[in-house]
A and B are shown apart, each in its own frame.
Chain A
Amino acid sequence: MTITDCSQSSGQPDDMRCEVAIVGSGCGGATVARVLAEAGRDVLLIEEGGDFVGPQRLTQRDLSMYDQLYADRGARTTADRTISVLSGRVLGGGGVINACDVVPVHEAIWRYWHTIHGLQQWSPQAMAPFVARALQDLSATAITQDQVNRNNQILRQGAQAMGYTGELMHHNRQGCVGLGTCLIGCPLGAKRNPRMVAIPKAITAGARVLVRAKVVQISAADRPDKTLLVRALDPKGYHETSTFRVQAKRIVLAAGPVGTTTILAASGLGNDRLGRGLSLQPQVAVVAQMPDIVNAFDGIPQSFALTQFERNDEKTGLGGYRIESIFGTPGILGSLVVQPGIEGKAAMAALPYVAACLVLVPDEPVGQIGQTWSGRPRIDYTLSEEWKTRARAAVKTAMRCFLAAGARQVMVASAPPLVVHSEKELAQVDGLSFAPASIGLISAHQQGGTPISARPDAGVCDPDGQLWGTPGVYVCDGGLFPTSSSTHTMAPILTLGHFLGAKWAATWGKT
């Protein structure tokens, strides 16, 4: 497989030419690279992260893996430090470090975009073949009963006791042995992610791939031959070592909402909607102290989802909330402890008895991606009152489930921690203020920033994914969604990749 590592002296490229330069190798970029390469296009895929495959590189250790596999070394947050904004920075993008849950866009949401947002091509019927291709890439199957670990069983039992509906999720693992470190990469390669599926196929079809190559700017965007300014990075991806240029007839930005917006802003491209309409889908962790050993470290981290309160509405879009079990590895769990001193150590010592879940609360696209004075991304996001109300309801539901499953106490890691022992103490949740930097929220599903729209005054890209007003520059990542697509974004973005890739392959004139 030919992947050129620009951090190696042998990989230091001279200036290059191609027909299509694709920036970012996640679910969007890798899928488009594959579709276009298989259609005979001359494709160059450019990725700023490194290539991490196998146990030598994917070490299951938090410090080094968050450092190497995540954007901003795992430390990216909103400007007020309330929300950890997690995304992949590795060949294969977020698919390498995600939790493997496969939740395609609900038909009601396609209808919502089709009718309310006027996206004529996005009807459930028109999208069905592309959804099918995405699911095929993912080898999506239902998680089986024997793969459900104790942590997930507890949430499920609690939900059943409360009479709430839920389901075992679909996932994209094959040959999974339940190592449990999905969020810092699977050393066995059991994830059917872009690194394992689309990228090898793209290369077989002739695509060239660069890693440790960071695109910083597009110039000559108005000319037939556009230029990308690219910096080669050092082996750890920390520092820029040299600069080269790539000339391309067409550019597809697939660097994720934050990455794509940053490149466009640095290039002076995009209209005044650029960076706006950002949805972060903030998630809240709820932790339960159980009377018996849980050992949540082992096994697939997320398999059960409580779906009763999810709302896919063709008039209002995605709403409600969803609850899923979760666990992590020691470093990341240690980083989330909010009690300093001996109390925090006691919380860590009790981990074998801990069950945990995330409440996933879809949001309105109210955030904005901008730049700091030093030109780095700045994410501004204010939690809406409506979101806070829904999040409190979701936290209460999660707590009820854990209490019904026998939890001695349930907690939200706010400062100070919110601890509840019984149904009658649940009213305390109403006091959860979500004040900036008083609680650690997580965003794993950023969308928007470069939304598709039927009119230029309502979004950044036209319905073909092309930048309004800049022919030849396209976007294909989570940034395109005008509103939240699903509670999980991998399958939706793969669907977009197939849809736009097929359209571009068919309509772009041959060069």
Chain B
Amino acid sequence: MELVTRRRLVGAALLSGGALGAAALGLQLLREKAPPVAGLRVLSAAQHRTMALVALTHIPPGGPFGWSAADVDVAGLFDQFLADQPASDQRDAGVALDLVDLGPLMFERRWTTFTALTPDQRLAHWQAWSVAPQATRREIWQSLARFTGMAVYDQPGAWPHIGYRGPSLARRTGPEQGP
């Protein structure tokens, strides 16, 4: 998966202007240190935290059913997925997650990061990425949203809430012959 092209990422970074870029760099140094996560193969702890919060924003607890991204280690699965992808994809994914975290500063000129927002602010900010004027932001949104949706709803815990009765062969033949 070539998450976003390098050219577009550079373009997006430039979009916000040199001064903001420098501010972003400063903020990156300032932002609260993410607690270490054992066993990460590609993502940094900060990127892992961003991905976990993206997933939680995309599929939060509450609403019509309790099952949510909090029940699945989406960020861990993303790290695992990336570990078997080419190095260029790994780098792009990391840059994309950093861009999401710095999104409030770079695209809304707010002196804060995505991970520091409240859940409601995060939802509003994340939603804005899906319709952002910059194609790169929409591309990143598509990639991360798709991965999250696949990871959360592929789990048996989600199925009773969405009317899916589970892999049909297992239902027909009994669990011993099923997957």
Contacts and interface: CB of A to CB of B under 8 A. Distances in A.
Nearest to A61: B154
B121 interface: no
A60 B169 contact: yes
Interface in B124-156: 126-127, 130-131, 135, 138-139, 141-143, 145-147, 149-154
B177 interface: yes
Interface stretch (A106-114, A326-334, A493-501): A326-334
A81 B146 CA distance: 12
B153 A80 contact: no
Nearest to A333: B153
A236 B81 CA distance: 12
Given A334-B153, A335-B149, A376 B2 contact: yes
Given A63-B151, A345-B59, A438 B131 contact: yes
Given A76-B1, A181-B167, A331-B154, 11 more contacts: A55-B169, A73-B1, A188-B169, A297-B164, A330-B153, A335-B146, A335-B149, A336-B146, A348-B162, A415-B131, A438-B131
29 contacts: A55-B179, A59-B179, A60-B167, A60-B169, A61-B154, A62-B150, A62-B154, A63-B154, A80-B135, A180-B168, A297-B163, A329-B164, A330-B154, A335-B147, A335-B153, A337-B149, A340-B58, A340-B127, A341-B123, A345-B65, A345-B68, A346-B63, A346-B64, A349-B162, A416-B131, A436-B139, A437-B139, A438-B131, A440-B142
B17 interface: no
A506 interface: no
Contacts of B64: 342, 345-346, 349
B158 interface: yes
A127 interface: no
A19 B12 CA distance: 52
Contacts, number: 169
Given A188-B169, A342-B63, A415 B153 contact: no
Contacts of B123: 340-341
A298 interface: yes
Contacts of B167: 59-61, 181
Contacts of A59: 167, 179
Leading 5 A-B pairs by shortest Cβ distance: A334-B153, A352-B163, A331-B154, A75-B1, A342-B63
Interface of A: 55-56, 58-63, 66, 72-73, 75-77, 79-81, 177-181, 187-188, 236, 238-239, 295, 297-298, 329-338, 340-342, 344-346, 348-349, 351-352, 372-374, 376, 378, 415-416, 435-438, 440
Given A61-B179, A334-B150, A437 B138 contact: yes
Contact of A330 (B59, B86, B159): B159
Contacts of B21: none
B165 interface: yes
Contact of B142 (A66, A331, A376, A437): A437
Given A60-B169, A348-B161, A352-B163, A341 B153 contact: no
A82 B163 CA distance: 29
A63 B163 contact: no
Contacts of A378: 2
A76 B85 CA distance: 12
B172 interface: yes
Contacts of B35: none
Contacts of A440: 142, 146
A262 to B, nearest CB: 14
A374 B1 CA distance: 13
A337 B141 CA distance: 12
B32 interface: no
B4 interface: yes
